[in-house]
A = this chain, B = another copy of it.
Amino acid sequence: MYREGTWVSAEVILQSLDYFGIVVFAMAGALRGEEKSLDLFGVLVFSIVTATGGGTLRDLLMGNLPVNWVKDNAYIWLALAGGTFTFMFTRFWRFPVGALAVADAIGLAVFTVLGADQAAHMGFSPLIVIVTAVMTGCVGGVIRDLLANEIPLIFHREIYATAAIVGAVVYLVLQAWGLDERVFPWLAMLVVLMLRLAALRWDLRLPRFMRTLPRA
């Protein structure tokens, strides 16, 4: 959906969603920093890392260097804005966690499909499209959790990453069916969003790893 001249308004909407995802992920990162009692600098680093980590790893592995936020400074500015706002806001008001979870789900949906889209346009195989989509959507949060010295949340709240996987598969299937490229990315995004919101609403989970035998 990046093709020039196909549907300008779609590109504008998409870019807006991308920036929206950056801001939302930055806010989620800042809130994690708050839980860890970090100072302003630490909070802003958490914001930047959470917002840009997925896209950065994607660009590194694909060889798209310099990485995206070096070329388009808006990514860093928006992450700083989201982090600073959250830093100020939480000093005086309680943060609407429910609203943030919904916004975070939108960010996940957008980043996942943007990642799938980029890998697909570079001609990579379906497997790599899926891996790239999941990385773009989830790795920012993983690095944030590592910096916070915790086992990354996505290994526990598993429908997070699973929603990204399903969304990438839907993207590939709709593309294979020959749907209009101005339409199917939005459907894939909607699938990720719906899955993630359903998981939040009804607390859905994947099976855990269990032994039926006692340890040796």
Contact = CB atoms under 8 A, between A and B. Distances in A.
A42 to B, nearest CB: 3
**Copies of this polypeptide in the complex:** 3
Interface residues of A, number: 60
A144 to B, nearest CB: 12
A216 B70 contact: no
Given A131-B76, A211-B34, A155 B97 contact: no
A178 interface: no
A202 interface: no
A70 B124 contact: yes
Contacts of A42: 154-156, 158, 209
A201 interface: no
Given A41-B158, A63-B65, A65-B65, 18 more contacts: A33-B209, A37-B209, A39-B156, A39-B206, A42-B155, A42-B156, A43-B209, A45-B161, A60-B61, A62-B66, A63-B66, A73-B127, A76-B128, A77-B127, A87-B209, A97-B216, A146-B147, A149-B149
